[in-house]
Amino acid sequence: MAHTHLNPRFPAENYLNRELGLLAFNRRVLAQAEDEHIPLLERLRFLCIVSSNLDEFFEIRVSGLKEQIRARTSVVTTDGKTAHETFRLVAAEAHAIVTEQYEHLNNVILPALDEKGIRFLRRVTWNDAQREWIRNYFMREMVPVLTPIGLDPSHPFPRVLNKSLNFAVELDGKDAFGRSSGAAIVQAPRVLPRVIQLPEELAGCEYGFVFLSSILHEFVGELFTGMTVLGCYQFRATRNSDLFVDEEEVTNLRTKLQGELPQRHFGNAVRLEVADNCSPAMTEFLLEQFGLTSADLYRVHGPVNLVRLMQIPDWVDRPEMKFRPFVPGTPKGLSKGSNIFENIRKSDILLHHPYQSFTPVIELLNQAASDPQVVAIKMTVYRTGTDSVLMESLIRAAQNGKEVTVVVELMARFDEEANISWATKLEQVGAHVVYGVVGYKTHAKALLIVRREEGGLKRYAHLGTGNYHPRTARLYTDFGLMTANEEVTHDVSEVFKQLTGLGKARTLKHLWQAPFTLQPNIVLAIKAEAESARAGQKARIVAKMNSLVEPEVIDALYEASQAGVEINLIVRGVCTLRPGVPGMSDKIRVRSIIGRFLEHHRIFYFYAGGKENVYLSSADWMDRNFFKRIELAFPILDPKLKKRVITEGLKFYLADNQQGWEMNNHGIYQRRRSARAKPHNGQGELMMTLGSAAVDH
């Protein structure tokens, strides 16, 4: 089981609640949708991201709380709350967020889009010509794939897929068989688009859209000939999507997972969303079918699945209503065609995505696959996506007779299917595919290339804070280091040996590795700063990550603050540490940056008596990363590159007074916008400094 630090040295009120922290993060994302400085279609996109985040929150976090309540566990969280108390608070806050989200959609975003000629046509406004076109669409495209299911003793309530769009229909009258069930369910197949675009001349505006749900509401009677439709209501159920694979019991994880994945769509329901026009009787009936209570019910004014509106900005060709296109820069000497191994031998290379291109990483693997001097390639794969040039390169390398070893993480949540499919393809061409270590997710991002050169074999490594995924490398902020440093590459080689073979963990010279040395080394580094502060020397910690929840590290930070260490934490999502509490954490400041790109790099800076130790990592400061995953933190040894990480990864973000949110000691975030100070937008300034429009350097 995860290492849990059940007796923090500080009382429960010194920690914030993790689930409420996740919802607070979603409030900050919602604030992006409400921010008039942001282009309109991007605001719509942020609104959809909130829905997507909430889906995962219910599928994983709320379902976990419900499991605990069902099992009547007496476990209390670090902040001293039971699952019951947490669920009550979470339900209230989630309802408030959803209400605000739909109000903003209906009262602000849709009217503003309407003014710009982007309209969502409601049924009551359709004219005869529009109605005729929409009816034809319904008969031609929808009727053939719809399956209405009448509810009666021989047709029980159907199994409703997780997050699928469905309609509950109330009926009156008898059907062809003389049955009068009074109710039916119509499931909207996934193949149908949720939003349909009308021809411009018909819509009366440049972009006219109709919701699938509006079409179905209007013509649902066609599916029930001779009966009267009393009501038609869209609904959507969210289910527990955590996989129930007991890794200890599994001999073949892949086969077990393949059996488990289809079941994910039918886990216990945890939330029911219905349209606000749903009758009380039908609402009660649906709650009963899903085994839910009124606390799990979300009545919404609009489509129940806002995530599907995410496509609209891509369909609408209005550059002025979107972020300006951004082309990442490519560092000098790394242009296509240059010998990448030669470049890495000269000096370490640091790439800062998405401001700098991910292409050199693709190129490194590409060159390794066809370079006759390369004898072996080893790589960890966590998320790659269904179409991956990197995986294609690995397949080619194996076909070219190189020793290819890939550590595939089958339990990468929601990416399991893609990973299983790549694992199969790699095995077919003779690559060694290893599924990491049972009981530990392999989350480290590492690539090792062994090349035959004069004087013997030479190793090259790429270590990163983000996945080997070209698409997310354009949206997430991450660092990647390419190095031929013999000590570092030797460490990487040792890690691969551990992942693929058996044997004791060897001591690594530079890398900190979870589940062995990462957490203890972070605690030691924090304590060393506290010692310096007590001795009257300068002491400083700056750390950037996605989440901070591990109590032992939090306790060490509290003690360091009391010793006088200046601590700046940049935490995008959940932070259960309370900053600025007099006498406990006065010296700690917590901020969160939410912007155009998803903040994803993990950077740990310790002043270390002037040595300024800087580590980059794949790991957040969470129990699961420290104790249930294989993670790496690697130092930046080249002084020039270290300076870059401190400037680009920390200083730019600490100076940000446009997208920065400051957390107070109650866990409430305030936007840090100063009218008086010179505006600083970290992401914007990095785009200017490193993007292709910047002077090549």
Which residue numbers are catalytic? 443
Dist CA 30 CA 571 (whole Å):
17
Tokens of 406: 């890939």
Dist CA 43 CA 61 (whole Å):
26
Tokens of 286: 């649906």
DSSP secondary structure letter of residue 109 = I
Dist CA 237 CA 163 (whole Å):
5
Residue written as token pair 């997972």: 257
Tokens of 545: 């990550």
H helical segments located in 16-152: 18-33, 40-56, 63-70, 83-104, 110-115, 128-137
Three-state secondary-structure class, residue 662 = strand
Three-state secondary-structure class, residue 617 = strand
DSSP 497-541: HHHHS-SPPPPPSS-EEETTTHHHHHHHHHHHHHHHHHTT---EE
Residue 548 phi/psi, 5-degree rounding, is -135, 105
Dist CA 204 CA 507 (whole Å):
70
H helical segments located in 320-453: 340-346, 359-370, 389-399, 416-428
Q: Indicate the angle between helix axes 83-104 and 18-33, nearest 10 degrees.
A: 0
Using CB atoms within 10 Å of the CB of residue 684, give its burial: 0 to 12 exposed, 13 to 18 middle, 19+ buried.
middle
Using CB atoms within 10 Å of the CB of residue 486, give its burial: 0 to 12 exposed, 13 to 18 middle, 19+ buried.
exposed
Dist CA 654 CA 361 (whole Å):
28
Three-state secondary-structure class, residue 358 = coil
Q: Where are the beta strands (DSSP E) in 101-255?
A: 118-120, 147-150, 166-172, 183-187, 195-198, 207-211, 228-239
Please answer whether residues 476 and 618 qualify as being in contact, where contact means their C-beta atoms are separated by less than 8 angstroms.
Answer: no
Dist CA 4 CA 15 (whole Å):
15
Beta bridge partners of residue 501, listed in sequence order: none
Contacts of residue 56, Cβ cutoff 8 Å, sequence gap at least 6: none
Dist CA 545 CA 616 (whole Å):
10
Tokens of 516: 């062995």
Three-state secondary-structure class, residue 119 = strand
Pairing of strands 147-150, 207-211: unpaired
